[in-house]
């Protein structure tokens, strides 16, 4: 469905790929290659990531999201095509240490990512392995704990942390390696609502104030609504890349890919159909409430204290 | 015998306290003096922040955990009675989080048939039950005989694992975040299967979830736990009609209810059509005063 990709996001070709921060060119990947269970997982993906961007990657189960994510720091290597990170080809073994320092991964289950007895030791583990001098390690740990909002918990054993705090610890551990890019593979799937908000706020702040490039793989369309750009995968193909508002203006595309509008955008669509003058830019609950308040502003039947 | 429980309490929990690692320095009370009941045929949602005791409570319903103090009765019988265990496991089917991690057999069909075979049912009956369970979750029984569970997608593996629990034909299904990690359509379909099992087949469903939108649209009753105690209990309308305490403990309102709350429109909306209607009513109220309003 190449028609879904808007002109400014047209796939790149040829040598342009190594000019980008992360360039993906005609990437193909096949699980169990040459065996009976052979299965194409990525089928010719081309895209680019600029420094400081926030991209959400969505798609049904089995669409290739996690497979794509694992290519970005060379946990998987292309069967065909290539992935370039900061000008480094992931297929060259000598590039791996630099690529993995540049692009850090955060996974679903925070319990699988914890190694040490206290929060600060856990965060220090990575920099220690780099063989950095102790003062530098201490500085990096302080900065990472601060960025993840864990300064108060530095001496606590990780198993006493809540789900959201554990996931923030995983983020702090990644930050201590000073990556330019965080790839988060459904980091909120196992968290309660408060934990989810904690993680999203942390990630948003890192992207906005620390300029960390953020690639968020998610099943929650309301999380995708927060991104600057969304990539939609369907059966291993990239079928849409563009702004969330562009995507949510095409419910038929979402449906075709097994996705749905986030609830606030769906309610906005219904109200629009009923004649409400709501803009197409409504993505989040905050957007919808703000526009409705403006319209309903002087309604004497509303409880003004609440508005 | 179960017919006698129609509309009555099939699970009764009285003053249940459960302490992990009791008698050690690490002892931690996960449930404190919890009393509640589940009626046969009811759809009950258990909610609460991480660590509030939801999963611990659910594991008492099929005797996987036994009370440190207090009593849990299922169909009138104490779960601590040893010769009741086998019957209890048939009565109450429990699906943990990510149940697909427990698939093990060579074919999907064998995996689903494992439960009924264990009940020493006749081969024909095993076949019938496994096929029926696969159909309920939307998997093709014929295909299931040829495919390895490990060749399925995550969503299909989840369904296969749940079919294994359904094949035992339990009266009560206890489901711990069954839709976590599934895509939006997969979530909707799977939860629809459970609502259907309740409405058409009279199953009792206990669903543990963080998703308040699902709780609002599916539950007859919601029990909210906090730090091992019951914090709130009632119909979705009752529970979400008093948002303050929920927000305080880190839970959220369903999106339709949250929108009305922020707009200052009275009452609770549990679904998007309901929220739409209430917003339109508010606008109609305005039109009376200001004929030019939209």
What distances in angstroms separate CA B45 from CA A100, A237, B52, B205, B227, one per listed residue? 43, 38, 14, 8, 17
Q: In this complex, do B279 and A302 lie within 8 Å of one another by their Cβ atoms? A: no
Residue B219's pLDDT is 97
Q: Which residue of B has its CA nearest to A276?
A: B294
Residue (of A168, A153, A159) closest to A116 by Cα position: A159
Contacting residues of A for B261, CB less than 8 Å apart:
306
Residue (of B236, B213, B204, B211) closest to B223 by Cα position: B236
Mutate one of B250, B258, B289 to test the A interface: name it (highest A CB count within 10 A). Answer: B250
Contacting residues of B for A62, CB less than 8 Å apart:
153-155
This complex has an ipTM of 0.84
Contacting residues of A for B176, CB less than 8 Å apart:
none
Residue B272 Cα, gap to closest chain A Cα (Å): 6
User: What does pLDDT average to over chain A?
Assistant: 88
Output the CA angle A28-B155-B258, nearest 5 degrees: 110
B251 touches chain A (CB under 8 A): yes
Which of the two residues, B4 and A229, has the higher pLDDT score?
A229
**Pairing verdict, β A103-106 and A181-185:** parallel
Q: Tens digits of per-residue pLDDT, A55-103?
A: 999 999 889 999 999 999 999 999 999 999 999 999 999 999 999 999 9
Touching B: A residues 144-163, CB under 8 Å: 162-163
Q: In this complex, do B255 and A302 lie within 8 Å of one another by their Cβ atoms? A: no
Q: In this complex, do A193 and B212 lie within 8 Å of one another by their Cβ atoms? A: yes
Residue (of A222, A281, A266) closest to B276 by Cα position: A266
Q: In this structure, how many other beta carbons lie within 10 angstroms of the beta carbon of residue B273?
A: 12
Residue A6 reports pLDDT greater than 60:
no
Confidence of residue A9 (pLDDT cuts 50, 70, 90): very low
Q: In this complex, do B265 and A302 lie within 8 Å of one another by their Cβ atoms? A: yes
What is d(CA B159, CA B137) in angstroms, rounded to the nearest whole number?
A: 6
Looking at chain B, list the stretches that DSSP marks H as alpha helix, in order from N- to C-terminal side.
54-60, 85-91, 108-118, 123-136, 141-144, 154-166, 184-201, 212-218, 236-240, 243-248, 255-263, 272-289
Q: In this complex, do A186 and B182 lie within 8 Å of one another by their Cβ atoms? A: no
Instruction: Name the DSSP letter for residue B40.
Output: B
Q: In this complex, do B51 and A162 lie within 8 Å of one another by their Cβ atoms? A: yes
Residue (of A304, A277, A301, A305) closest to A291 by Cα position: A277
A275 contacts B280 by C-beta, under 8 angstroms: no
What is d(CA B82, CA B4) in angstroms, rounded to the nearest whole number?
A: 23
Q: In this complex, do A37 and B182 lie within 8 Å of one another by their Cβ atoms? A: no
Mapping DSSP to helix (H, G, I), strand (E, B) and coil, where does residue A264 land?
helix
What is d(CA B44, CA B174) in angstroms, rounded to the nearest whole number?
A: 9
Contacting residues of B for A164, CB less than 8 Å apart:
50
pLDDT in tens, chain B (294 residues): 677 787 789 999 999 999 988 888 878 889 999 999 999 999 999 999 888 999 999 999 999 999 999 999 999 999 999 999 989 999 999 998 888 888 888 999 999 999 999 888 999 999 999 999 999 988 999 988 988 888 887 788 888 999 999 999 999 999 999 988 888 888 888 999 999 999 999 999 999 998 999 999 999 999 999 999 999 999 999 999 999 999 999 899 999 999 999 999 988 999 999 999 999 998 887 777 666 665
**Three-class SS string for B140-197?**
CHHHHCCCCHHHCCHHHHHHHHHHHHHCCCCCEEEEECCCCCCCHHHHHHHHHHHHHH
Confidence of residue A17 (pLDDT cuts 50, 70, 90): low
**Sign of the dihedral through C-alpha B9, B14, B18, B22:** negative
Q: Which residue of B has its CA nearest to A185?
A: B181
**Model confidence, pTM:** 0.86
Residue A95 Cα, gap to closest chain B Cα (Å): 32
Among all chains, which residue has been given the structure tokens 């992207």?
A: A207
What is d(CA A125, CA B27) in angstroms, rounded to the nearest whole number?
A: 30
């Amino acid at each position: 469905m190449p028609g879904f990709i808007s002109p400014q996001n047209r796939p790149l070709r040829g040598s342009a790929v190594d000019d980008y921060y992360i360039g993906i060119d005609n990437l193909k990947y096949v699980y169990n290659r040459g065996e009976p269970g052979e299965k194409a997982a990525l089928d010719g993906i081309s895209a680019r990531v600029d420094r400081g961007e926030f991209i959400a990657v969505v798609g049904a189960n089995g669409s290739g999201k996690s497979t794509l994510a694992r290519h970005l720091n060379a946990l998987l290597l292309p069967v065909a095509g290539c992935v370039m990170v900061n000008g480094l080809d992931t297929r060259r073994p000598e590039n791996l240490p630099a690529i993995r320092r540049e692009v850090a991964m955060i996974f679903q289950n925070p319990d699988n990512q914890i190694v040490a007895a206290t929060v600060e030791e856990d965060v220090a583990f990575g920099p220690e392995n780099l063989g950095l001098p102790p003062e530098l390690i201490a500085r990096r740990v302080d900065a990472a704990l601060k960025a993840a909002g864990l300064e108060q918990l530095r001496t606590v054993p990780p198993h006493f942390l809540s789900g959201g705090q554990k996931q923030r610890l995983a983020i702090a551990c990644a930050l201590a390696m000073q990556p330019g890019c965080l790839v988060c593979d459904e980091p909120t799937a196992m968290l309660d609502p408060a934990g989810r908000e904690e993680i999203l706020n942390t990630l948003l702040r890192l992207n906005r104030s620390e300029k960390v490039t953020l690639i968020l793989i998610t099943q929650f369309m309301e999380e995708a609504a927060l991104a600057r750009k969304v990539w939609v995968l369907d059966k291993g193909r990239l079928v849409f890349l563009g702004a969330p508002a562009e995507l949510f203006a095409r419910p038929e595309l979402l449906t075709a890919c097994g996705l749905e509008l986030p609830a606030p955008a769906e309610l906005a669509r219904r109200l629009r159909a009923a004649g409400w003058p709501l803009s197409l830019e409504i993505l989040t609950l905050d957007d919808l409430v703000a526009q409705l308040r403006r319209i309903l502003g002087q309604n004497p039947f509303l409880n003004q204290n609440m508005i | 015998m179960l017919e006698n429980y129609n509309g009555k309490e099939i699970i009764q929990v009285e003053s249940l306290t459960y302490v992990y690692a009791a008698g050690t320095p690490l002892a931690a009370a996960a449930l404190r003096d919890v009393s509640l009941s589940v009626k046969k045929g009811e759809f009950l949602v258990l909610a609460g922040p991480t660590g509030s005791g939801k999963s611990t409570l659910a594991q008492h319903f099929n005797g996987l955990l036994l009370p440190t103090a207090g009593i849990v009765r299922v169909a009138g019988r104490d779960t601590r009675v040893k010769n009741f265990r086998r019957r209890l496991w048939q009565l109450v089917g429990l699906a943990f989080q990510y149940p697909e991690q427990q698939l093990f057999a060579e074919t999907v069909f064998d995996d689903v048939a494992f439960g009924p075979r264990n009940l020493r049912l006749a081969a024909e009956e095993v076949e019938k039950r496994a096929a029926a369970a696969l159909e309920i979750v939307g998997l093709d029984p014929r295909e299931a005989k040829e495919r390895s569970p490990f060749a399925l997608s995550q969503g299909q593996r989840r369904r296969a694992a749940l079919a294994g629990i359904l094949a035992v034909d339990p009266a009560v299904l206890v489901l711990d975040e069954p839709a976590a990690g599934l895509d939006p359509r997969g979530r909707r379909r799977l939860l629809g299967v459970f609502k259907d099992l309740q409405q058409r087949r009279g199953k009792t469903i206990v669903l543990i979830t963080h998703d308040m939108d699902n709780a609002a649209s599916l539950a007859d009753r919601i029990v909210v736990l906090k730090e091992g105690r019951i914090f709130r209990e009632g119909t979705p309308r009752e529970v979400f009609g008093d948002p303050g305490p929920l927000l305080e403990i880190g839970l959220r309102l369903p999106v339709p209810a949250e929108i009305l709350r922020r707009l200052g429109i009275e009452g609770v909306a549990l679904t998007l059509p309901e929220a739409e209607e209430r917003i339109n009513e508010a606008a109609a109220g305005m039109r009376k005063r200001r004929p030019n309003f939209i």
